[in-house]
Each structure stands twice: as structure tokens, then as C-alpha cells.
Amino acid sequence: MNTVLIGYRCCGKSSVGKVLADIMSCDFVDTDKVVEHRYKATVSKIVADKGWEFFRQAETAVLKEVMSKKNQVIATGGGIVLAEENQALITDSGCAVWLFADVKTIVKRLAADMQNKASRPRFTSKSLFIETRNTLAQRLPVYEKLACMRFDTTAHPPKDIAWMIKRRIDHVRI
């Protein structure tokens, strides 16, 4: 089984995923990083040069490859869940763990993350708060539908969240 971390940007999927993979003694894969490595460009550059549709197709191809292996912790891009094909891949190949935070926390993290500013494209020209709130409203039903487990990362560091996930996974497997 794979543990697939889903959720919006800056909710801790990569940070928690690295710690969780270490705790579970398994491989860690970040689908956005695989796409960036494959195309030798940031997500922002890929979207600027080739468009969102191309990026979403590349993301699906990477997810298919990654899901063909087992016993991994996989951090996904926030919008990977938009494609029904990806939803099926996630539910068929693992347990989706939804990491979330409140909108104010997400916006604060987005604004503070210089790497995020350089590598993640904006969705709209609206304020970051409005963009985040509106995008989350669209995605929440999908995150909720896919999630085997959910964890609020607003007030907990990645290490604590990783251990919470590990304990829950161990409990479920008993």
C-alpha cells in the first residue's frame, strides 16, 4: 500500500511526507518534483510555456508511474485530484491522507515561502487570499471524498503530523 498525501499548497505534503517516509522506512516521492525533473523546469515555467492542460497530463503520467510501485509515501500536487483518472489511481493504489490548514495559515505560508513563489504559478490575478479561498472551495469536496484520513496542519509541525499518521496507519493495520 502507498500513503498518498493530498491537499492544497503549503499544507505540508512534502515536509510531512519526507518525515513520514523516514519513520516508515520507505521511499518518498514528490510528484511535482518528478515532473520538474523530467521537464527540467519548475511547475511555473512548464505552465507558462506549455499551459495547464499539458502540466496536468504530465502530472497524470507521473502519478501512473509512481503508483505502479508499492510501499511509498507520495506527496502530490494540490490539483492532482482534479482528474477523475487520478482519483481512481489514488484510491486503487493507496490510502489518501488529506493534509489541510485554514485559509489564513495557507496564505501566510505561501507568502513566506520564497521557493513557492518562484516555482508555483498563480491561478488568478485576484489577491492570494481570495484565490486560495476560492480554489479551496472548489477542491474541498474532492479532498473529502478521497481521504482515508485527514489531519489539520495549522498548529502542528511536520514531525508531529507524520507521527500521528504513522500511529493511525499502524492502528488500522492491526
Of all residues in the chain, the percent with pLDDT exceeding 90 is 78
- Amino acid letter for position 108: K
Residue 174's pLDDT is: 39
The residue with greater pLDDT, 18 or 107, is 18
Residue 1's pLDDT is: 85
Average model confidence (pLDDT) across the chain: 91
The residue with greater pLDDT, 114 or 90, is 90
Asked whether residue 5 carries a pLDDT value surpassing 50, the answer given is yes
Helices (H), the chain: 13-24, 31-39, 43-50, 52-67, 84-93, 103-112, 114-119, 128-146, 158-173
pLDDT digits (tens, 9 = 90+) for 119-144: 665 565 677 788 889 999 999 999 99
Residue 119's pLDDT is: 61
User: How many Cβ atoms sit within 10 Å of the Cβ of residue 70?
Assistant: 11
Q: Is 132 helix (H, G, I), strand (E, B) or coil?
A: helix
Q: What is the CA radius of gyration of the chain?
A: 15
For residue 25, the 8-state DSSP code is: T
Q: Is 112 helix (H, G, I), strand (E, B) or coil?
A: helix
Mean pLDDT of 109-118: 69
Asked whether residue 118 carries a pLDDT value surpassing 70, the answer given is no
The closest of 85, 100, 101, 79 to 147, measured between CA atoms, is 100
pLDDT digits (tens, 9 = 90+) for 50-73: 999 999 999 999 999 999 999 999
Of all residues in the chain, the percent with pLDDT exceeding 70 is 91
Residue 172's pLDDT is: 65
Burial class (CB in 10 A: 0-12, 13-18, 19+), 116: middle
Residue 117's pLDDT is: 56
Looking at mean pLDDT, say which of 75-84, 127-136, 164-173 comes out highest.
Answer: 75-84
Residue 164's pLDDT is: 96
In the chain, domain spans: 2-150
Classify domain 2-150 at the CATH topology level.
Answer: Rossmann fold (3.40.50)
Residue 120's pLDDT is: 64
Q: Is 150 helix (H, G, I), strand (E, B) or coil?
A: strand
The residues pairing with 28 across neighbouring beta strands, listed in sequence order, are 73
Q: At what angle do helices 31-39 and 43-50 cross, to 10 degrees?
A: 60
